[in-house]
Structure 1
Amino acid sequence: MPPARASRCCSRLPWKNRVMKPRHALVFLVLALASPGLRAAAPQQVSASYDVLRNGWHVAVMKETFEARDGSYRIVSESSAVGILALFERHPLRFVSSGQLTATGLRPLHFEGARSEADPRRVRADFDWKAKSLKLAHDGRTDTVPLPPNTQDRLSVMYQFMFHAFDGMQRFESIMTNGRKLDHYRYAIRADVEIETPLGRMKTVHLVRQRGPGDSATEIWLAPQLHYLPVRMVIEENDGPRYEQTVVKLETRP
């Protein structure tokens, strides 16, 4: 069966020149599921493309695929620099998340990211749910930390939205790893927020990060008509740069 192209869009913001550094990892900030509320079945396949802007300038294109089958899932995300930045970043930034598909959604087992095999900024996370431990490999070192329930990685979290019900919720807390560390996030929720997107005007669920000292400003818009996948994301760092990510193409298969 050919893929059915959605009439609306989804989005995510995972690109920056030095993304593998801790501060820059905020560019890829997204939510991790805290206490799941299940909805209807999610699509088995998603294929999407996104534009990433820095202070209004187009700096990258991201292509991403999600596939679930036989009780497991795999997500691949590749971001390629465009324009003059492509002269300096010749290799795409590639992230991969894989794990189990459970009754409550995605349960990551492995996550990694790098521009190439020799990339010194390579990150890796291995989830041991039985031992409740998380092994993080980065910068030539390996750390093992306790693994909280429902932890997601920065890729799986975007698709975990498909399994979560936001009806009536006003607050959302989450735990997510970027391969370097675990972070705890708190968001306020607003329903029925209409926005314009490249694929048309749509009603969304708007998530706004409740910031602490040193935190970046983060907003995410989820589209209920598209399985609650994000349609837009904005991050503004403390040092000034503003990043926007918007979907330009989205295809799904049931």
Structure 2
Amino acid sequence: MKHTFSKYLFTLILCLTVQPVFAEPASKIQARFDVIGFGFTLANINETFTRTGESYKIESVTTAVGLLARLKPETIRVISEGKITAQGLVPHSFILTRETDTDKNARAKFNWETATLTHYDYKGVEDLPLAKGTQDRLSVVYHLPLLSQAGQHEINFNIADGNNVEKYFFTYSAEEQLVHVPLGEFKTRYLYSTPVGESIKYEIWMAVERNNFPCKIIVTDSKGGKLTQVLTELTITP
């Protein structure tokens, strides 16, 4: 249980690639999620997105609760900063810190002028090619609602997290779905990934009447293990 949580909790934060968008993000979004797995609430996530002019900053704090807090107490803090463009969010930096497992701390620097992505983690410093449209594990949640208006049915993207860069392939469902989460019942757009080999499957439900903000996310590993992230509080300031 501890191994599964450590491996998959943070990857609940999901993803898209850059496509044309038609609306700028809100000036501020405050959200709170529960993370559920093995029949228990394992963690709480508190996030704040702030837009200042053409810049953004996202701060996220994940805290283990209940049974997990007794077995493996941990607090994960993540910060993503960058620019807002006509194509959505363009991350410049990503920082992940853990209070307990500090050897898993990681950073990513996005140098768009040189198309270089620099990772800083326990392995040292590594420079990698930076593909157009790359997001980080936090920026994608706020990039996603902007892209939902682009009319694409299939999309692919790269995500960087300070340790690795991975490519994903996602498909939008044409039909809306009603989804119930602790905050209430929402009309949603459904987005899912197509796993390749041992890769993880992601499912995202975006609340249509709440700026397409994700209200539910499910991560399923290759053996069928699942973690679910559900929205419990949301405040959007235009």
Give the TM-score normalised by the residue count of structure 2.
0.91
Residue 214 (structure 2) aligns with: 230
1:52 is matched with which residue?
35
Counterparts of 1:1-254 in structure 2 under 5 Å? Answer: 17-19=5-7, 24=8, 27-34=11-18, 36-116=19-99, 119-166=102-149, 168-191=151-174, 192-254=176-238
Cα distance in structure 1, aligned partners of 2:12 and 2:186 = 24
Contact 2:50 2:56 in 1 (8 A): yes
Identify which range, 58-67 or 209-218, moves more after superposition: 209-218
Identity of aligned residues (%): 26
Q: Per-residue displacement from partner, 1:121-153 (whole Å, max 9, x unpaired)?
A: 001100000000000111231111100001100
Q: How far has the Cα of 1:225 moved from its partner?
A: 1.6
Please state whether the residue corresponding to 1:120 is helix, strand or coil: helix
2: distance between equivalents of 1:221 and 1:159?
A: 13
Which amino acid in 2 is paired with 1:151?
Answer: T
Q: Shift of residue 56 of structure 1?
A: 2.3
- Matched AA of 2:6: R
Which stretch shifts more, 122-131 or 164-173?
Answer: 164-173
Judged with a 3 Å threshold, the aligned counterparts in structure 2 of structure 1 residues 118 and 59 are, in CA distance, closer, same or farther, namely: closer
Q: Which runs of 5+ in 1 are unaligned?
A: 1-15
Query: When the two structures are aligned, how many residues end up with a matched partner?
Result: 234
- Is contact 1:124–1:179 with CA below 8 Å preserved after alignment? yes
**TM-score scaled to structure 1, two decimals?**
0.85
Q: Distance in 2 between matches of 1:117 and 1:213?
A: 32
Question: What is the root-mean-square deviation of aligned Cα atoms in Å?
Answer: 1.9
Distance 2:225 2:122 in 1: 25
Distance 1:102 1:169 in 2: 19
Which residue identity lines up with residue 97 of structure 2 in the other structure? Answer: A
